[in-house]
């Protein structure tokens, strides 16, 4: 145990090194490999199912709703929501900052009539106040420095009538160990293996996340169990 503990970095402060996905120019082949593996990792506990459950809790049975997914990546959450909508009139706005990511997601979502893809920056959303029911982001905030994270959370608060769902990694030694072992054990793509480990070091602690949300005018109303590396928090 002491040998394993010595291999885990001190995580008192966030690592501010850049991930591959933060670079201005991306290798398209590596990006596609990363997105395929992210869809696989999102099927694990704490991923898409946890986000969908939190969104459903906020919608509270409403039969007509608009959900904004920020940083949609491979588009697996919009696909899940659209296919499970049933009788609900659900419109999903799947946004991402990178056109290459949207091109990839479009191939997965092109047959889903109620999903709309659009390019958008989380820090300056192109939507009117209270124009969606729920704003959701997954594995986005740890890419942002604190000031930009507050801006993004503030924008989510501004556009969402019912609430905000944040799915992200939490920083901590046990969370880092579980996250790193999962990524290195399951992923093969260079972007995924590098960024997956670094993301666990760039993540905010739960207290830091709540403080950022408070600065954006949000208060926590619900949180998934915090023993997993990924935690889903609902704010209003």
Per-position DSSP letters for 33-66, written without gaps between them: HHHHHHHHHTTSTTSHHHHHHHHHHHHTT-SEEE
CA–CA–CA angle 213, 157, 144 (5° rounding): 50
For the stretch 164-218, pLDDT in tens is: 999 999 999 999 999 999 999 999 999 999 999 999 999 999 999 999 999 999 9
Summary mean pLDDT of the chain = 95
Which residue did the predictor score with more confidence, 234 or 5?
234
Concatenating the DSSP letter of every residue in the chain gives -HHHHHHSPP-SS---PPPGGGSSS--HHHHHHHHHHHHHHTTSTTSHHHHHHHHHHHHTT-SEEEEEEES-TT-HHHHHHHHT-TTSEEEEEEEES-HHHHHHHHHHHTT-TTEEEEE-BTTB-SS-TT-EEEEEEES-GGGS-HHHHHHHHHHHHHHEEEEEEEEEE--SHHHHHHHHHHHHHH--SHHHHHHHHHHHHHPPPHHHHHHHHHHTT--EEEE--TTSSEEEEEE-
> pLDDT value at position 204?
98
Percentage, residues of the chain above pLDDT 90:
93
Residue 62 clears pLDDT 90, i.e. is over it: yes
What is the mean pLDDT of the segment spanning 83-91?
95
> pLDDT value at position 9?
82
**Residue 84: which CATH number?**
3.40.50.150
Residue 40 in tokens: 């696989």
Count the domains in the chain: 1
> pLDDT value at position 226?
66
CA 86 distance to own-chain centroid: 24
CA–CA–CA angle 39, 42, 43 (5° rounding): 95
Residue 10 clears pLDDT 90, i.e. is over it: no
> pLDDT value at position 1?
43
pLDDT-based confidence at residue 8 (cuts at 50, 70, 90): confident
What is the mean pLDDT of the segment spanning 78-89?
96
CA dist., res. 57 & res. 68, Å (int): 15
What is the mean pLDDT of the segment spanning 52-69?
98
Identify the domain containing residue 85 by its residue range: 2-8+16-235
> pLDDT value at position 131?
99
Which residue did the predictor score with more confidence, 123 or 2?
123
């Amino acid at each position: 145990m002491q040998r394993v503990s010595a291999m885990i970095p001190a995580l008192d402060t966030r690592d501010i090194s850049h991930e591959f996905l933060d670079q201005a120019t991306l290798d398209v082949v590596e990006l596609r490999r990363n997105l395929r593996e992210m869809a696989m990792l999102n099927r694990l506990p704490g991923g898409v199912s946890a986000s969908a459950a939190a969104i459903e809790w906020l919608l509270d049975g409403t039969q007509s709703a608009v959900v904004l997914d920020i940083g949609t990546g491979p588009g697996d959450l919009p696909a899940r929501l659209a296919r499970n909508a049933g009788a609900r009139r659900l419109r999903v706005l799947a946004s991402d900052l990178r056109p290459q990511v949207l091109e990839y997601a479009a191939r997965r979502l092109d047959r889903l009539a109620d999903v709309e893809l659009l390019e958008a920056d989380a820090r300056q959303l192109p939507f009117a106040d209270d124009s969606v029911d729920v704003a959701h982001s997954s594995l986005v905030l740890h890419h942002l420095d604190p000031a930009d994270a507050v801006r993004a959370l503030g924008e989510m608060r501004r556009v969402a009538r019912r609430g905000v769902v944040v799915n992200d990694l939490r920083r901590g030694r046990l969370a880092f160990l579980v996250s790193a072992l999962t990524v290195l054990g399951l992923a093969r793509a260079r972007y995924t293996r590098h960024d997956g480990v670094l993301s666990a070091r760039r993540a905010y602690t739960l207290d830091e996340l709540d403080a950022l949300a408070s600065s954006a005018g949000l208060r926590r109303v619900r949180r998934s169990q915090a023993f997993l590396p990924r935690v889903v928090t609902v704010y209003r």
